[in-house]
């Protein structure tokens, strides 16, 4: 099995492409190995310097701290992914992860639709995700995950990309901010 890697705009995040389905239940971020029983996720999170994992439909983004070099851990992550799929497993995660269902207003539904159709595919290409959290007094609050979390260019992307797009389609939106 040949696992490809792609750099992301975040120098502390690398996108691993196993050529197989990764998440069968939507995008999912894990930063604490105790939160997940999956052996691959736990093993990757056990690598010195790894701070989080983001599972997309067909990729795994791994975030590391800036004190560790990719040369020190990249081969370990690839080996763990190879071993996982070599055991005959079809995907990393298949369970239904309970997303909190929000009771959304009409404007919030429009915001979510734009985020999902126009913005999510672009941030997924960079190894991340964006989730709607709240709309209040003209301010949209979103959560950035995966490679987008902690990325030096995420503020520019948020303001010049996400905010401009939402403001263009929805005059009610005045600002977009990221929350943890």
> Per residue in 55-68, pLDDT tens?
999 999 999 999 99
**What CATH homologous superfamily does 4-86 map to?**
Scaffold protein Nfu/NifU, N-terminal domain (3.30.1370.70)
> Per residue in 3-52, pLDDT tens?
999 999 999 999 999 999 999 888 889 988 888 888 999 999 999 999 99
The full DSSP string for 72-109 is HHHHHHHHHHHHHHHTT-S-SB-S---PPPP---HHHH
> Per residue in 78-114, pLDDT tens?
999 999 999 988 888 877 655 556 688 999 999 999 9
Q: CA torsion 35→36→41→43, rounded to 10°?
A: 80
Domain 106-179, CATH = 3.30.300.130
**In the predicted model, what is the mean pLDDT of residues 148-174?**
86
Q: Whole-angstrom Cα distance, residue 149 to residue 128?
A: 8
The full DSSP string for 136-166 is ETTEEEEEEEETTTT-TTHHHIIIIIIIHHH
What are the domain boundaries of the chain?
A: 4-86, 106-179
User: Could you tell me the pTM of the whole model?
Assistant: 0.81
């Amino acid at each position: 099995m040949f696992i490809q890697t792609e750099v992301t705009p975040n120098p502390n995040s690398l996108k691993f492409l196993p050529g197989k389905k990764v998440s069968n239940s939507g995008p999912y971020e894990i930063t604490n190995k105790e939160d997940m029983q999956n052996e691959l996720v736990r093993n990757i999170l056990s690598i010195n310097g790894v701070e989080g994992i983001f599972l997309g439909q067909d990729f795994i983004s791994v975030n590391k701290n800036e004190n560790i070099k990719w040369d020190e851990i990249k081969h370990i992550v690839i080996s763990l992914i190879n071993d996982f799929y070599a055991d005959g497993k079809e995907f990393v995660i298949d369970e239904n992860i309970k997303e909190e269902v929000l009771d959304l207003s009409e404007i919030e539904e429009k915001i979510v639709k734009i985020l999902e159709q126009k913005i999510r595919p672009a941030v997924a290409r960079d190894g991340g995700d964006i989730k709607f959290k709240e709309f209040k007094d003209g301010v949209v609050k979103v959560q950035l995950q995966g490679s987008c979390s902690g990325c030096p260019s995420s503020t520019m992307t948020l303001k010049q990309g996400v905010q401009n797009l939402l403001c263009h389609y929805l005059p009610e939106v005045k600002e977009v901010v990221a929350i943890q």
